[in-house]
A and B are shown apart, each in its own frame.
Chain A
Amino acid sequence: MASGVRPRVKAPKSAAAGDVVTLKTLISHPMESGQRKDSNGNTIPRSIINRFTCEFNGTTIIDVTMEPAISTNPYFEFEATIPEAGDLQFTWYDDDGSVYEETKSVAMA
C-alpha cells in the first residue's frame, strides 16, 4: 500500500431538500504512473488509485475511472443534488487492492 494516503472531503453539514451542493475531495497519493524509471534504470511499478466513487444513501453520484496520467494527490470537485438527509460515501480504490473510505453526513437545514 502506498504510504501516507489520507482522504480529505469538504461537504456541507446541512442542506435544504433539493439543494445543489459542491463537494470537494482530495486524497494524498503518489499516483506513480508506471512510466518512470528509478536512478538504476529500473521501471518504477505503477501504483495509482484507479477508481473513485461517491454515493448518497446508496445512489451513485459519480463513478470515475482514473488513469496513470492523473497527477499526484488527485483532487475532484463536483456537484450533487441532496434530496433528503443522509450520508455521502466516498470511496477510492487503489491498484494494490486497498480501499480508502470517508463518510460525511448531511442534515436537513
Chain B
Amino acid sequence: MNFKALTATIALIAAAPVVALAGGADDDTLVLNGEVEMTTKAAAPAHMADTYVDEIISGWHFRADETQALQMDDFENQGMIFVDDGLATWETVEGSEGKSCASCHESPDSMKGVAATYPKWNEDAGELRTVQMQMNDCRVNRMGAAPWKYDAKVAINVEAMIASQSRGMPVDVQIDGPVKAAWEQGKELYYTRTGILELSCASCHEENYGNYIRADHLSQGQINGFPTYRLKNAKLNGVHSRFKGCVRDTRAETYSPGSEEFIALELYVKSRGNGLSVEGPSVRN
C-alpha cells in the first residue's frame, strides 16, 4: 500500500462518521402509540426505475429523535389538536341544506383509505381531485355552503382528520388511466428547474436527500405525512402550501395552492411514496 492509498483509506475511515452525521436517514422504527408499526422505508415504486432513488424513505427518518418521538404518541403530537378541531367541523351543520359532513358520511371511520388513494380521478366530474377539492364539492353541491379557500386552516384541519383515519395504510395512488396526463405533467414539473437559483424538486429531494441545506436535513420530500405539523410555525401545513414555499425558495414566482399545476405535482409526488404508510398528521421541524 503506497502512501497515497493509505491516505485515501484514512480519509475513508475519517469520512464514515461524518457521513452518519450528515443528515442521512436513521434506522429508527416508527410505532404509533406503541401499537401500529408504520412502513417508513420501502422499495421505490416501479415508475421510479429511471431515478437515483431505489429506496423511498419517509421524512420522519430525517428528523431528530425528539421530533420523531412527538409523532409516536397521539397525545404529544400537536397535529392531533387540529385533528380534534377537524372532527368538530365534521359534525358542524353548515349551508342551506342543513347538513354536516357527518349527515352523509356518518362516522369519520368512513374516510379510512381516502388519504392513501387521493389525488384521485373523479369520473362524474371528469377531473383529478385532491381531498380538499372533494371536500369543497361536498360543501357546495351537497351542503349548500361556501367552499373553503385552498389550504385554509379549517380545510387543512378536516383534511388532517381524514388523513388520520388512514394512518398505517400504504399510500397507493393510481398513476395511469385517466390521470396519466396529469401525472406526466406533475413529473415534468418535478424535474423543471425554476427561479433564480435554478432548482427543481429533484435537485434537492432526489439528488441531495440526506445532505444538509444550510442547517437542515434534506429529505426525499415525501408527502405521505401531510398535513404536517411544523414546529417552526406551530400549525398544520398543507401540501400545496409546502410546494409553494419550496418554489418560492428557488426565488421563482409560484403557482397557487389549488392550481392545476400543484394538483398534478401532488399526484406525482404522492406516487413517489407509493408503499409508505400514511402518517398524517406528521410532526416535522
Chain A residues close to B by CB (< 8 Å): 4, 6, 8, 10, 24, 26, 28, 71-73, 75
- Of the A-B pairs whose beta carbons lie under 8 Å apart in the complex, a sample of 18, sorted by A's number, is A6-B81, A6-B84, A6-B85, A8-B75, A8-B84, A10-B75, A24-B76, A26-B75, A26-B78, A26-B81, A28-B81, A28-B84, A71-B234, A72-B234, A73-B78, A73-B81, A73-B234, A75-B76
Chain B residues close to A by CB (< 8 Å): 75-76, 78, 81, 84-85, 234
Chain B: CB-nearest residue to A24: B75
| Contact of B85 (CB < 8 Å), options: A4, A10, A71 | A4
Chain B interface main SS type: loop
Chain A: CB-nearest residue to B82: A28
Q: Which residues of the other chain, A, contact B85 by a CB distance below 8 angstroms?
A: 4, 6, 28
Q: Given contacts A6-B84, A28-B81, A73-B78, list 5 more A-B pairs with CB under 8 A.
A: A8-B75, A8-B84, A26-B81, A28-B85, A71-B234
Q: Which residues of the other chain, A, contact B234 by a CB distance below 8 angstroms?
A: 71-73
Q: Which residues of the other chain, B, contact A6 by a CB distance below 8 angstroms?
A: 81, 84-85
Chain B: CB-nearest residue to A9: B75
* Closest beta carbon of chain A to B267's beta carbon, Å: 32
* Closest beta carbon of chain A to B64's beta carbon, Å: 17
